């Protein structure tokens, strides 16, 4: 039986993972190194994904950011004051953070690691933007610190990826995860639940595939609408109907039941600042969504991995 279940928990929250990995709570510090995205700079497309409004994802895309070191020092000082935090993970979050010359990537990652309180890196990127030389660099850094590659998979279904205008198919995700795993890297995945192209069974199939690929951590996102996006146009015209909170909670619980027991749950839902959120209103209450998921697991007397068919620690 998994250790988190022995402690009376019904899913493997990322906080428990960090405590086990570092001996105490580690806190993420968002870092903006100014990387662009091939889906926005004209390499693949110029409009980005259907949901993409960079300002809705990170404060650094709404106001100027300092150097990497300055960003980490300011954010870690705030977290230290508020939570007595001592250990931090430099989270390269906005943009595609493996999309650039190798020398620039090394400089950015090393600048973050030069901060004394930083105990690891999380590098957010796309599955079609992790060439071997970049993975080799991350594997090299992983010899002296903790490193996670966080991939925006979103779905395993090519129809959904096409609707999202991702610019890649699921085979790119399989390839990226496989090559990262071959180098011993920790791999996280972003998944969107509630896409209009998918049924609940389609979402469960994505969870089954994450289990097969032995994904180490997952961030779940509800589909939300940010302004100035193709998704906002869909919503305004009535072409897009978003799930209600009760539906989304049901999706999450079924999804959790099909994941491996050793897959850390980094996030159960997503939101955006009020000025960057069109809908749904319910996602503003992330704590309420979390409590609703936990209550539904309790009501069903169910757990993460309850219906997982591949081997993992139970």
pLDDT tens digits, one per residue of 69-100 = 999 999 999 999 999 899 999 999 999 999 99
The answer to whether 302 touches 255, Cβ cutoff 8 Å, is no
Domains and CATH numbers, the chain: 3-300 (3.80.30.30)
Q: What is the pLDDT of residue 62?
A: 45
Of 311, 298, 304, nearest to 259 (Cα)? 304
Q: What is the pLDDT of residue 6?
A: 86
Q: What is the pLDDT of residue 56?
A: 76
Give the residue ranges of the chain where pLDDT is below 50. Answer: 61-62, 314
Instruction: Quote the pTM value.
Output: 0.94
Q: What is the pLDDT of residue 314?
A: 41
Of 163, 161, 162, nearest to 190 (Cα)? 161
């Amino acid at each position: 039986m998994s250790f988190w279940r022995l402690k009376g928990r019904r899913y493997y929250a990322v906080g428990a993972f960090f405590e086990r990995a570092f001996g105490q709570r580690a806190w993420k510090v968002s870092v903006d190194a100014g990387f662009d995205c091939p889906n926005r700079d004209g390499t693949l497309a110029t409009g980005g994904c259907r949901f993409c409004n960079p300002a809705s994802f990170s404060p650094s895309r709404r106001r100027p950011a300092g150097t990497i070191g300055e960003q980490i020092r300011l954010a870690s000082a705030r977290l230290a004051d508020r939570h007595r935090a001592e250990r931090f993970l430099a989270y390269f979050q906005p943009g595609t953070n493996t999309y650039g010359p190798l020398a620039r990537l090394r400089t950015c990652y090393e600048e973050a690691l030069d901060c004394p309180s930083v105990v690891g890196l999380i590098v957010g990127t796309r599955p079609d933007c992790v060439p071997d030389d970049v993975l080799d660099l991350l594997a090299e850094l992983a010899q002296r610190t903790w490193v996670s590659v966080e991939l925006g998979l979103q779905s395993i279904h090519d129809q959904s990826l096409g609707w999202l205008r991702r610019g890649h198919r699921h085979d790119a995700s399989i390839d990226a995860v496989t090559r990262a795993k071959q180098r011993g890297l920790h791999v996280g995945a972003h998944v969107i639940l509630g896409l209009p192209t998918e049924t609940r069974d389609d979402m469960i199939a994505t969870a089954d595939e994450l289990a097969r690929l032995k994904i180490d951590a997952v961030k779940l996102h509800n589909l939300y609408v940010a302004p100035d996006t193709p998704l906002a146009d869909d919503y305004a015209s009535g072409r897009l109907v978003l799930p209600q909170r009760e539906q989304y909670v049901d999706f999450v619980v079924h999804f959790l039941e099909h994941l491996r027991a050793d897959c850390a749950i980094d996030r159960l839902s997503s939101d955006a600042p009020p000025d960057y959120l069109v809908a749904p209103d319910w996602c503003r209450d992330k704590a309420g969504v979390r409590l609703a998921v936990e209550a539904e697991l309790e009501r069903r007397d169910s757990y993460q991995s309850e219906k997982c068919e591949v081997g993992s620690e139970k």
